[in-house]
Amino acid sequence: MMKTVSGGVCAAKGYKASGIHCGIRKNKTKRDLALIVSEVKANAAAVYTTNLVKGAPLIVTKNNISDGKAQAVICNSGNANTCNADGIEKAEAMCRLVSEELGISETDVIVASTGVIGQTLDITPIENGIKPLVDALGDNSKEAAEGIMTTDTALKEIAVEFTAGGKTCTIGGIAKGSGMIHPNMATMLVFITTDCAISSEMLSLALKSDIAETFNMVSVDGDTSTNDMVSILANGMAGNEEITCVGEDFNAFMKALNTVTVYLCRCIAGDGEGATKLLECNVSGAKTKEIAKTVAKSVICSSLTKAAMFGADANWGRVLCAIGYSGADVDVNKIDVSFKSLKGTVKVCKSGAGIPFSEEIAKEILLEKEIEIIVKLNDGEFSSKAWGCDLTYDYVKINGDYRT
């Protein structure tokens, strides 16, 4: 039995969070520093961007949690602390400031930054903000979520309860991500907390297995960021017997984790820079899982398909085009395509060829905020999903002067 609960990263036992404006961002109404703390040291795991250019915080975090342990997360927005000569030094300083204020080891701190690349991070606002940040700790998942946002327009948080070892466990998360979002992670920061007792090794396995089907299947604009990271803390305070191997409890944990990550994926995709619509590509009937994933990614990444969805134009040929250049081993003469929303479903392509359909009905379906692109390959038993958004005029406006 699993149910959604309130509280985000503070829903699980033993976690507090806060978010403040410390002065990194010019806009004083925007929070720019966030903190999440566990009462006790927790098992930890993280996954990082595949971009060869990596933000200094990722390097420091990877080193800090090499022992599979952490107790706090600090994140700033407004500056990515990437491609800076003193980046490592600044990221380590953020960890040290947290450790001194909380009385924990600086190597038990996960550190993250998001914002403009290549601009030196002024540590002074963070130094001045640490005490107010710690003083503000409480059931403040919302404030922490606001503190990590950049061009995001919507808060992204969720929590669910599930049962493991006969105990009620909770897992919750917050995320940021709007631009520089592409498969193999994104300008995406995701912080997940749970009170479930699970070993560091199984936690890492769960996270790596899950993101292959979730965060690595999200694309907004085709740019893979330098700073994306998904991290998870598990402090064991739910009191269940520690999960140390694959089995019923691990499966329950995986299901709960996936519920959290899929929700956050949809939030991120739907809040793409300038976006007006959430797109989900649902591929079925593939010969292999990899083929299904490749097709779903290609469709969701197609600029022409994204533009057509913005214009509510049922231009299904762009979907087939994206499948055709994806490199996936498919039989184009077997492909069916439909578009679906709350207004209904319209079939537009069968066996790789167009079929008669009402343009008026299709337009009505595609004017909705959430659109499902259904692709049936009719060639096997494997399926996959990918998430993205439409491509709008505002995306160019936002990114035309992002730095200045």
Which residues are designated catalytic?
187
Closest to 272 measured CA to CA, from 133, 376, 118, 390: 390
User: Which alpha helices (H) appear in 280-368, and where do they start and end?
Assistant: 289-301, 303-310, 317-324, 359-366
- Return the number of other C-beta atoms located less than 10 Å from residue 400's C-beta: 9
Q: At CA 298, angle to CA 261 and CA 313, rounded to 5?
A: 100
User: CA 331 to CA 351: how far, in whole Å?
Assistant: 9
CB 115 within 8 A of CB 80: yes
In whole angstroms, give the CA distance from residue 144 to residue 10. 10
Contacts of residue 174, defined as CB under 8 A and 6 or more positions apart, other chains included, come to 8, 9, 141, 144, 145, 148, 156, 157, 190, 191
Kindly state the tokens that stand for 356: 């008669």
Q: How far apart are CA 368 and CA 348, in angstroms?
A: 17
* Cα distance between residue 291 and residue 287, in whole Å: 7
Burial 145-172 (b: 16+ CB within 10 A, else e): bbbbbbbbeebbbbbbbbbbbeeebbbb
CA-nearest of 210, 182, 184, 178 to 50 is 184
Q: Tokens in use for 111?
A: 């550190």
Closest CA to 215 of 235, 229, 198, 233: 229
Backbone angles phi, psi at 289, to 5 degrees: -60, -40
Q: How many C-beta atoms lie closer than 10 Å to residue 8's C-beta?
A: 30
d(CA 291, CA 125): 48
| Cβ–Cβ under 8 Å, residues 32 and 77 | yes
Q: Taking the alpha carbons of 366, 372, 376, 377 in that order, is the dihedral positive or negative?
A: positive
